[in-house]
Every structure is written in C-alpha cells, then in structure tokens.
Chains A and B, each alone.
Chain A
C-alpha cells in the first residue's frame, strides 16, 4: 500500500518563485489536508478538503492555493514564495468520522521547503 505519497521531499526556492507540492492517497479518503510544521508551533492547518470539488481554508492559508479535482489528489500551490514559507509541509488524509473511521490521520513523509 502506497498510503499518502507526497513530493518533492526537499525543495529550495528563491523569493517570488512558485511551485506545487503534490499529494496523492490511494485509500479513498474523503478528507485531505495540508499542514505546515515550524519549530515550537506544532502542526498548523493550511487548507483542507472533504471531497472532490470542495476545499476550505485552515488556520494559515495566506500565500497558498489548493484544488481537489479528484478524490486521490490534493496539490498545494505556493503562488509567490516568501522566506516566511520556509517550513516542513505535511499532507494528511483520513476517513471522515462517522463514515467508518475515527478520523485518524495518515501522513505523507513531509516536504522540507527552503525559500531564500
């Protein structure tokens, strides 16, 4: 089982560049999300989706864009990278509670992004 596949694992950008972090899951999960992890801040939610065609903002959405055209894929786009977006990014998915799961999150391996 592939689970949640997240690419790339490492990326260095210059300020102002754009890029897309890819996330795919093969578990037919309705819920997908992107978190960023910064030292001492835990995991902060950027954007999430509860199904194809449905996305919503989390706690720290500014500077990021998402789309959910299929159940499997949930890419995260950085529109114009800034040094403040230097972070480790995690994609995570789960069944929605009440549809057969507890809401346990399955995580990708993480993507370390550095913006110079």
Chain B
C-alpha cells in the first residue's frame, strides 16, 4: 500500500487565485515529518515546506502553507495568489522517524502537475 497518496494527477488554477494540492499519508508512527517539493519544467527538485507531526501550528513559508489535519492524515499544500511560475510538478513526501520504529527514509507520492493560467 502506498504511504503517500496524491489523488490529483493534474490541477489548473487561474493566476492570482489560491489552489490546494491534496496529500494523504499512512503511518502508525507517532513521530514523522511531511514535506512538499516543487519540480519545475527545468527538472530540479526544490524544497518548499516542512511539517513535523508534533508541530501545533500549520507550517507556512511565504505563499505556501501546509494544511495539516493529523486525525485525517492529510497534509495539503495551499498556494495563495498563484503565479505563472508556480506551474510545476508538486511532490508530497513523508519521513517516519527511526526513534519510533520508522525507517527515516523519505517516501514520495506520485506528484500533482499544476498549471497556472494567465
């Protein structure tokens, strides 16, 4: 079974609007971390945002925020005020912590392709 599920293969958003990219995860470890990475058409992988399982508040980094709903095991990425440069593949990933029995090896979802229309 997949540990990270991204159910949206593709998403479209109008420039300047907000968009939510979905990510659900599966773990029995109490301690874990969640990440989002961006891959533009040029191919490099760019780290966007991190949320620890014990963090009380949702993580934010500029226009990026992570809507962390622990009970639902979801870690959706919200991009506010979309820009044309946000067009890219977005990957959700999870790290389960060795101290709590996890493998600490990051596991990735299959990604969501976001296209921002002018």
Contacts and interface: CB of A to CB of B under 8 A. Distances in A.
Interface of A: 31, 33, 35, 40-45, 48, 58, 88, 90, 92, 96-98, 102-107, 109-110
Contacts of B104: 31, 96-97, 103
Contacts of A98: 97-99
B43 A43 contact: no
B50 interface: yes
Contacts of A44: 108
B110 A42 contact: yes
Interface residues of B, number: 24
30 contacts: A31-B104, A33-B105, A35-B108, A40-B9, A42-B108, A42-B109, A42-B110, A44-B108, A45-B107, A48-B105, A58-B105, A90-B45, A96-B98, A97-B97, A97-B98, A98-B99, A102-B33, A102-B35, A102-B95, A103-B33, A103-B95, A103-B104, A103-B106, A104-B35, A105-B35, A105-B37, A105-B45, A109-B43, A109-B44, A110-B44
